[in-house]
Amino acid sequence: DTDPAALRKFVANMAPLGFDITIATSAADAVRGADVITTCTADKANATVLTSDLIEPGV
């Protein structure tokens, strides 16, 4: 999330469910080594989250 407060809230809300959450510092860090990638955003100004160069072959 680009909003640090929203990110902290998300992590706090997910913690009781037992999710292991790692906060990435960039989109590239977030998708590196991923088997599956999904995104969602309501921010039209920053709607492009990933570019094709960030997605590894086979994903």
Sequential pLDDT tens for the chain (59 residues):
778 899 899 999 999 999 888 888 888 998 999 898 888 777 667 667 788 899 998 88
Q: Which domain holds residue 22?
A: 4-45
For residue 13, the model assigns a pLDDT of: 93
For residue 16, the model assigns a pLDDT of: 94
For residue 39, the model assigns a pLDDT of: 80
The letter for the amino acid at 8 is: R
Report if residue 56 sits inside a domain.
no
For 4-14, letters b (16+ CB in 10 Å) and e give eeeeeeeeeee
Report if residue 19 sits inside a domain.
yes
Q: Is the pTM of this model over 0.85?
A: no
Report if residue 18 sits inside a domain.
yes
Tokens of 23: 């906060």
